[in-house]
Amino acid sequence: MTAAQGGGEYLDRDRFQALVIGSGFGGAVAACRLAQAGVGVAVVERGRRWPPRSFPRDLSRLDAGWLWLCNHGLYDARPLNDILAVQAAGWGGGSLVYANVAVRPPQEVFDRSWPEPYSRAVLEPYYDLVAHMLEVRPVPADPRTGQLPPKTRLMAKAAGLLGQSDGFFHPNLAVRFEGEGPNRFGVAQKPCTFSGQCDIGCNEGAKNTLDLNYLALAERHGAAVATLTEAVHIARAGDGYRVRLREHGHPGAAREGVERDVTARYQHSTATAPIRSLRMQRLPIHRQRVYPNLIYFNEVRRRQHPTAGIRVPGPAPGRCAAPGDHGPSPWLAVSSHTTRTSRMIVCVDGDDLPMAGRAGERQPKELVPPTVGG
């Protein structure tokens, strides 16, 4: 790995045993375990590193770190028909901007839509391991006030007004709430200040993002890292793969970056490059259908009545699920994104953004939901 003048890092060789594309939850775990097992692994991430105090806050200039299209900022907006998907670009992937919630699905979720070998009981040890790695815990009282955060109290009040207090709980969060110093992986962190800015990047270093645990372990065990490096094409090459990389952080790179090929025996990747490559050839990816992980924002505006802005999908619209409710298990949508994110999305003109695929590619007219065994 070689550091570049523009803030990126690029690979200093072209052959690896394994290449991991993307440093989000799937990529970070794969990279960590491969490196710990002694496999010669490289991780490529199109975004930059975002240490504490580097996340953007000034909305007067959207090119000052907000948008990927503007000097490789934090958020990438991808239009797809009537949907504008907003995703993170950075070392740590979606963990940089998600709401930190770690909820374990009940068994009926596996009964309904997962292959038979998988169940809550089978996956329980792995949920335990993830909880250890991300150091999850419920939100405590703010030490400065001695009270729970205002949003937490408002949600509890709303559940009570709806007559669903029994269905309210404090989910586990991947946040460091107490103590300044190294975490269990030796990475320095500070405690949460309860600013509520988790979804736009934690400038305190309190959020247990993947760069502070899984990716830190991967680097410690010898994983090579390339940031500002985008995978644009994947092809079979003998008994391995050839991956075309676009290095935005390479010294002397033009605005569109420098392209090079890297080969690896195995590859693990996020959705964009495989889908793009599947249009031109058959690749033995895990399933015939590939679906990207998407996070979308539910905006809850402050209103006079605390229940007016609550939207909790479940057995009936607009109410929490009480114990004993029948039908499909509800998914609790927790929204903590701030007015900064709202303004950023409002400022983005979808007509000015490129489509998710390459220029000239026909976009699908509709999205087909995944089916088990398809």
What are the pLDDT digits (tens) for 270-323? 656 655 555 445 544 443 333 333 333 332 222 333 322 233 333 222 233 333
3-state secondary structure 39-75: CCEEEECCCECCCCCCCCCCCCCCCCCCECCCCCCCE
The total number of structural domains that make up the chain: 1
Q: Residue 35: inside a domain, yes or no? A: yes
Assess contact for 9 and 254: CB atoms under 8 A: no
Query: Nearest-CA neighbor of 194 among 148, 135, 137?
Result: 148
Q: Residue 316: inside a domain, yes or no? A: no
Classify the C-alpha dihedral 207-41-269-248 as positive or negative.
positive
Q: Which two tokens stand for residue 291?
A: 């679906």
CA distance 159 to 137: 21
| pLDDT band at 269; cut points 50, 70, 90 | low
What pLDDT is stored for residue 254 in this prediction? 54
Angle (nearest 5°) at CA 268 between 201 and 280: 110
Checking if the pLDDT of 252 tops 70, the result is no
Model pTM score: 0.74
Checking if the pLDDT of 69 tops 80, the result is yes
Q: Residue 320: inside a domain, yes or no? A: no
What pLDDT is stored for residue 32 in this prediction? 96
Checking if the pLDDT of 369 tops 80, the result is no
What pLDDT is stored for residue 329 in this prediction? 33
Higher-pLDDT residue of 173 and 265 is 173
The structure tokens 């998914």 sit at 331
Checking if the pLDDT of 257 tops 70, the result is no
Question: Can you give the CATH number for the domain in which 78 is found?
Answer: 3.50.50.60
Angle (nearest 5°) at CA 361 between 356 and 363: 60
Q: Residue 241: inside a domain, yes or no? A: yes
Q: Residue 94: inside a domain, yes or no? A: yes
Per 3-state DSSP, what percentage of the chain is helix, strand, and coil (rounded to 5)? 25, 20, 55
Average confidence (pLDDT) over 59-73: 89
Q: Residue 40: inside a domain, yes or no? A: yes
Q: Residue 10: inside a domain, yes or no? A: yes
Q: Residue 331: inside a domain, yes or no? A: no
Q: What is the pLDDT of residues 345-359, one digit of tens each?
A: 444 443 443 333 333
- Average of per-residue pLDDT values in the chain: 75
| Domain span including residue 73 | 1-99+220-299+338-365
What pLDDT is stored for residue 7 in this prediction? 63
